Structure 1
Amino acid sequence: MDPRSEVLLRQAERFTGPVLLAGLPADGLLGTLPQASGWGWNAADHAVLAGRFGQRCHFGTEPPPTEVAAAVLYLPKAKDLAAYLLDALAAKLPGRMLYLVGEKRGGIEGSARLLQTYGTPRKLDSARHCQLWQVEVEHAPAAPSLPPLAQRFGVAAPGGELQVVSLPGVFSHGRLDRGTALLLDHLDNLPAGHILDFGCGAGVIGALIKRRYPSNRVSLLDVDAFAIAAATLTLQANGLEGELICADGIDGAPALLDGIVSNPPFHSGVHTHYEATENLLLKSAEHLEIRGEIRLVANSFLRYPPLLESAFGHCETLAQRDGFRIYRARKG
């Protein structure tokens, strides 16, 4: 079980009623708290939890409308996302309890100061390298709206500047990261047909591909509901069309693709994970048409070429700059 959930179980008497667990990891906590429900925005975790606990699990960028006696937020990595989530929960809980749980190395002690907006917070427990904080919501905020929290920036592109709309918690919030900037400079001669932007984030790669190749069908996939919401806003801001998919990795992608383009993720929370990208590299050929290709950017130190060579029989480096490389492989 996740150590944060273990800390909650140390205080289980506080969570016996209808409590909402926000950002709940894919563990068995709901099995020990029969009146609790979960709310999450990670499609991978939600798939596991929904498979075990069904309609007790909710998914999306807004909390479910059901009334609850209390709520717990599992602290996310991004502080601006934490602020939004706390406001969204506190708006539902005037006069009731709001809890915050997180790992010490994830910044729980500093983030607990955010609770001062709603009342007087106190630390309830410290164990498993985690802390649990509580506040009675004396000053409930209005329910927040996501669009006003968006950050917008422009990216030079053929046909005019592309407007990117980023939301709290989305990768490289409010700016163009160096890896994506390098990839955007190397999108020449993409195949015609159906292109997937894998790990789309705010949608800058998929939107630029649709701008450059308007006759192509473009799909944008991400595991995070906030990324899909941002990518939707980015497409709308530029008058572009695309298929949005919130799914757990390449297994949720369409079949018979002509191309996959990606700045794939390898971080999750305060931990480093490579599984989603390794799965992409090993299985991408299964989703590609003959002569389809995968093109991606990655930090130079990541050993992705052997995985591409294993799946495709070859891998070529198209460019390198600022500690990043562009790799390409084509299917038979």
Structure 2
Amino acid sequence: MDPRSEVLLRQADLFQGSLLLTGLPADDLLGTLGNAHGWCWHAGDQAALGARFAGRSHFGVEAPTQAFDAAVLFLPKSRDLANYLLNALASRLGGRELFLVGEKRGGIEGAAKQLHAFGKPRKLDSARHCQLWQVTVEHPPVAQPLHSLAQRFELVSGEAALQIVSLPGVFSHGRLDRGTELLLEHLDALPVGKVLDFGCGAGVLGAAIKQRYPQSQVHMLDVDAFAVAASRLTLAANGLDGEVICGDGIAAAPQDLDVILSNPPFHTGVHTNYQASETLLKKSADHLRKGGEMRLVANSFLRYQPLIEGALGNCRIRAEGNGFRIYQATRR
């Protein structure tokens, strides 16, 4: 069981009424706390929770409409996302309890200071390198609509410009990261057809491809519901069309692709996790048609080239810069 869940269960007698577990891990916590429901935005976690606890986990970027007597927030990595979630929960909990749990390495002590806006927080427990905090919401805030927290920036590619819309919690929120910037400089001579932007984030690559290759059918895939919402906003802001998919890894992608583009993720929360990226590389041949191409950017220290060669039989380094490499391979 996740150590944050174990800390919660040490104080299980506090959770007798209806409880909303926000950003919960896909462990057995819902099975132990019979009055609890979840709120999740990670497609893989939601699938696991739905299979074990049908009807007890809400999926999406907005809080569930059902009433709850108390709520627990599992502290996310992004401070902007934590702010949005705390506001969404506290706005519904006037006079009731809001709990915050997280790992010390994830910044739980600093995040707990944000609870002062709602009342007088106190630390309830510290164990397994985690802390649990509680506040009675004496000053419930006015709920902030998610769209009001969107950040927009302009991306100029050649003579064309794109408006990128980012939401709290999305990778590189509000700015263009260096890896994606390098890949954008090397999108020439791509096959036209079915294109996948894997780990699409705010939709930078997918929107750029649709703008540059309007005949292509663009598919954008991310495991995170906030990223999917941001990608849809980016497409709409530029009058572009594309399919945006919320799914867990390359298995959720279409078949017979002509191109896979990616700045693949290698973090889950505060932890390093290469599984989604390595599965993408190993399974790429299952989704590319013959002659299809994969082009991706990654930190130079990541040993992706052998994995790509093992899957597609070839791989070359197309460009390097600022600590990143662009890999290119073709399914033969």
Shorter-chain TM-score range: over 0.9
CA distance in 1, matches of 2:63, 2:174: 24
Measured against aligned partners, the alpha-carbon deviations of 1:128-160 in whole angstroms (never above 9, x if no partner) come to 100000001111112221111111111112452
Letter in 1 for 2:48: V
Aligned to 1:215, what secondary structure does the other structure show? coil
Say yes or no: does 1:55 pair with 2:45: no
Letter in 2 for 1:319: A
Aligned to 2:301, what secondary structure does the other structure show? coil
Say yes or no: does 1:128 pair with 2:128: yes
Question: Residue 159 of structure 1 contacts residue 211 of structure 1 at CA under 8 Å; is this kept in 2?
Answer: no
Letter in 1 for 2:29: L
CA shift, 1:17, in A, is 2.1
Say yes or no: does 1:71 pair with 2:79: no
Partner residue of 2:267?
267
CA distance in 2, matches of 1:241, 1:30: 39
CA shift, 1:124, in A, is 0.5
Aligned to 2:258, what secondary structure does the other structure show? strand
Moved over 6 A (4+): none
Q: 1:219-234 alignment to 2 at 5 Å?
A: 219-234=219-234
Aligned to 1:161, what secondary structure does the other structure show? strand
Partner residue of 1:156?
156
CA shift, 1:122, in A, is 0.6
CA shift, 1:200, in A, is 0.4
CA distance in 2, matches of 1:158, 1:146: 32
Partner residue of 2:2?
2
Aligned to 2:281, what secondary structure does the other structure show? helix
Partner residue of 1:103?
103
CA shift, 1:16, in A, is 2.7
CA distance in 2, matches of 1:301, 1:317: 13
CA distance in 1, matches of 2:157, 2:235: 14
Letter in 1 for 2:3: P
Partner residue of 2:331?
331
Q: 1:139-288 alignment to 2 at 5 Å?
A: 139-288=139-288
CA distance in 2, matches of 1:18, 1:148: 29
Question: Residue 163 of structure 1 contacts residue 234 of structure 1 at CA under 8 Å; is this kept in 2?
Answer: yes
Say yes or no: does 1:114 pair with 2:114: yes
Letter in 2 for 1:11: Q
Letter in 2 for 1:178: R
Partner residue of 1:297?
297
Question: Residue 18 of structure 1 contacts residue 70 of structure 1 at CA under 8 Å; is this kept in 2?
Answer: yes
Aligned to 1:227, what secondary structure does the other structure show? helix
Aligned to 1:183, what secondary structure does the other structure show? helix
CA distance in 2, matches of 1:18, 1:192: 52
CA distance in 1, matches of 2:246, 2:142: 28
Measured against aligned partners, the alpha-carbon deviations of 1:207-265 in whole angstroms (never above 9, x if no partner) come to 00000000100011000011111111111111111101010010111111111000000
Partner residue of 1:320?
320
Aligned to 2:80, what secondary structure does the other structure show? helix
CA distance in 2, matches of 1:319, 1:328: 9
Partner residue of 1:35?
35
CA distance in 2, matches of 1:160, 1:168: 26
Measured against aligned partners, the alpha-carbon deviations of 1:23-69 in whole angstroms (never above 9, x if no partner) come to 00110000011110000111111111111001101100011100011
TM-score normalised over the length of structure 2: 0.99
Say yes or no: does 1:19 pair with 2:22: no
CA distance in 2, matches of 1:294, 1:67: 46
How many residues are treated as equivalent by the alignment?
332
Question: Residue 158 of structure 1 contacts residue 212 of structure 1 at CA under 8 Å; is this kept in 2?
Answer: no
**What's the RMSD between the two structures over aligned residues?**
0.8
Partner residue of 1:91?
91
Unaligned runs of 5+ in 2: none
